[in-house]
Structure 1
Amino acid sequence: MIVDCAIYRDGRRTEGPGDFSEALDEARAAGGFVWVGLYEPTEREFDHVTEEFGLHPLAVEDALKAHQRPKLEVYDDSLFLVLKPVVYEPEGDTVSAGEVMVFLGDGFVVTVRHGEGSPLGAVRKRLEHEPELLGKGPTSVLYAIADAVVDHYLDVSTELQTDLEELETEVFSPTSGGSRYTASRIYSFKRQILEFRRATVPLAMPLSKLAGTGPFGVSVPFVDDKARPFFRDVSDHLTRVNESVEGLDRLVSDILSAHLAQMSVRQNDDMRKISAWAAMAAVPTMIAGIYGMNFDHMPELHWVWSYPVVIALMVSLVLLLYRLFKRRGWM
């Protein structure tokens, strides 16, 4: 459905006519642009937008189906950028990603949103309070959306870092040493980081193209060259996020390895204790077994003090083994 549609002239909003074609002509005539915002449109709803703005059918297909990787595509009449805003839910410690598709052309911006993780409403309000920035044209909208998405990545990265520190404390706590559910929590956390990386890592190349850095030092159509420093700033922020995510991924792998090593050591300790107790139980069992064979001719069988001597011998041997195992750290 269409969430918002407006014409912007000199950074000021004016309500556009209901017909997209008239709105586009009016905006171009006034040196402004049209910004149309849609939320999970159907194919039928999007057909009218496609026809009026001349959007490429391949980009339209991607916008309708969603589930795309972050990417930047340049067509004859428009530019197509895919971003994946991320939402962090502290109650369940989960990361979920939405999608924002931006069509940028001569005198128009069309944004398509899928999922809940979208900053578009806040971006539009912020831009409308900054007419100087909004007056730069459609490029300012593209920059503001990318900047809002990447800035939220930084917030999510900070939240994940906090959760990882809590998980690390739990694993290495001298009292708990990690519960029986710790391994599943670590795997779940690693999965959230993977979901986060799917949104952040592929976005590096599109932002490099927009910033004109690295091997992509060429102008991108429909994007003002004067906006390159702003996209470079967004790209720098994304680099920080990707470095942080990579560090989180390595650290959670190390924590998982350490937890598994702790579990192995703990199992070895338990086996040694069980073996020690079994050895101490085996000695009196062996002696009792020998004297329980009921033979007539056995040493000291008819001696008055045989019973207390054998009991004392059993206790002495058990205490000797206990002291030996205790000294070696098996008990």
Structure 2
Amino acid sequence: MSMAGNLRKVTGLGRVGGLRRVARLTRRRPRVDLSHPARSPLGSSVVNCVMYQDGVRVPVGGGLVDAVNHVRRNRGGFVWLGLHEPTDAEFADVAELFDLHPLAVEDAVEAHQRPKLERYGDTLFAVFKTVCYVEHEELTATSEVVDTGEIMAFVGRDFVVTVRHGRHGSLGPLREELEADPAQLAKGPAAVLHAVADHVVDDYLSVTESVQGDIDQVETAVFATDGARVDPGRIYQLKRELLELKRAAVPLSRPLEELATRPIRVIAPEIQAYFRDVSDHLLRATEQIASFDELLNSILQAHLAQVTVAQNEDMRKITSWAAVIAVPTMVCGMYGMNFDHMPELHWTFGYPLVLAVISVACLALYRGFRRNGWL
């Protein structure tokens, strides 16, 4: 089958005959995972493929190849292809059609990349780390707080290809918001790249607000009356999850700075102002993350100090009672040696006198320790 035929089969955008093929393919694939929110009804990696002209969605009676040819023939508009976790075979035709660099294609398919921006001729390749707050009833030492994913974007003069990894960060709502603003969408693929970046950074801010609730909960527990009994694993877990958020947000500052300040052929100067706004939002998120990290360090140190104080109090109590018990132990040890000539050994009041001395000595020690706060 030709490349065009393969792409029509993948995108499912054919005419009536294409719809009939879709029906046949659907009947042939009874085990498609329809529960996955990111997959298309065919179970392929294609989430959506749309052509835009002057910011308005334009229906095309063919597949992806027809849409691209239409855009390039008319010198206007662009095509937005959305993919989710494509395989090498699924992405091969797309890479050939848009002349994508093999290194960028490899990164997009394999994922596990850090946020970055690379230029390959007239094509931009951007990587964003997406984050999602994982709801939980109670924070434990094993609770997952932050889930991460990735969005890769190939941006050219007349196309945008977004590749998403992970079960969150869907771009469907973002696409609808852009389509509701044709004036912004008419600015071209750069407007889509800005919207994706803004969407990702807004998620950073949303997740930091949710994480702050967990930090407040731990902070309240640590400084409560029985704060020394708080499981320190909860604090360490928060620090680990915060580190995931930090790895996603902090490296993105340099790519956004390049998009906002450096001249790039596919990024119009008017769009760069929007990227500066996104960069400001990212700065706010990174500052919050840094402050949370410092706050967790302070909470952890305070908890360790409370544990040390509690252990010192326990040791003082143990030492105090040991001193009180040492008095009768010493006296009874002396009179337990069974010598014939010992003071008051044969005296009638010797036994009551020893008990009285022991009681007075123990009481004096107890009151002294209580007065000093050891008991």
TM beyond 0.5: yes
Q: Which structure 2 residue ranges, 5 or more long, are not aligned? A: 1-44, 137-142
Q: How many pairs does the alignment contain? A: 324
Aligned to 2:182: 131
Q: Would you say 1:36 and 2:101 are equivalent positions?
A: no
Residue identity matched to 1:130 = D
Give the TM-score normalised by the residue count of structure 2: 0.84
- Find the aligned partners of 2:204 and 2:374 in 1 and give their Cα distance: 50
CA contact (8 A) 2:122 2:265 kept: no
Q: CA deviation at 1:82?
A: 0.4
Give the TM-score normalised by the residue count of structure 1: 0.95
Please give the per-residue CA displacement for 1:226-257, whole angstroms capped at 9, x wherever unaligned. 11111000000000000000000011011111
- Find the aligned partners of 1:319 and 1:197 in 2 and give their Cα distance: 59
Aligned to 1:208: 257
Q: How does 1:38-53 map to 2 (within 5 A)?
A: 38-53=83-98
Q: CA deviation at 1:15?
A: 3.0
Aligned to 1:323: 367
Q: CA deviation at 1:180?
A: 4.6
Aligned to 2:171: 120
Aligned to 1:158: 209
Please give the per-residue CA displacement for 1:271-313, whole angstroms capped at 9, x wherever unaligned. 1100110110111011011011111000010110111111111
- Find the aligned partners of 1:257 and 1:302 in 2 and give their Cα distance: 62
Secondary structure of the residue that 2:117 maps to in structure 1?
strand
> Residue 176 of structure 1 is aligned with which of 211, 226, 229?
226
- Find the aligned partners of 2:148 and 2:81 in 1 and give their Cα distance: 22
Q: CA deviation at 1:158?
A: 0.8
> Residue 99 of structure 2 is aligned with which of 46, 49, 54?
54
CA contact (8 A) 2:221 2:230 kept: no
- Find the aligned partners of 1:260 and 1:221 in 2 and give their Cα distance: 55
CA contact (8 A) 2:222 2:230 kept: no
- Find the aligned partners of 1:17 and 1:256 in 2 and give their Cα distance: 62
- Identity fraction in percent: 52
Aligned to 1:23: 67
Secondary structure of the residue that 1:256 maps to in structure 2?
helix
Secondary structure of the residue that 1:112 maps to in structure 2?
strand
Q: How does 1:176-325 map to 2 (within 5 A)?
A: 176-181=226-231, 183-212=232-261, 218-325=262-369
Q: How does 1:23-102 map to 2 (within 5 A)?
A: 23-30=67-74, 31-91=76-136, 92=143, 94-102=145-153
Secondary structure of the residue that 1:85 maps to in structure 2?
strand
Change (3 A) 1:253 1:17: farther
- Find the aligned partners of 1:130 and 1:229 in 2 and give their Cα distance: 18
CA contact (8 A) 1:211 1:231 kept: yes
Secondary structure of the residue that 1:86 maps to in structure 2?
strand
- Find the aligned partners of 1:292 and 1:169 in 2 and give their Cα distance: 55
- Find the aligned partners of 1:23 and 1:226 in 2 and give their Cα distance: 27
CA contact (8 A) 1:178 1:259 kept: yes
Please give the per-residue CA displacement for 1:146-186, whole angstroms capped at 9, x wherever unaligned. 1111111111111111211111110011x2214252x0000
- Find the aligned partners of 1:120 and 1:127 in 2 and give their Cα distance: 10
Q: Which structure 1 residue ranges, 5 or more long, are not aligned? A: 213-217
Please give the per-residue CA displacement for 1:66-109, whole angstroms capped at 9, x wherever unaligned. 00000000111310000011000121451011100000002000
| Alignment RMSD | 1.2
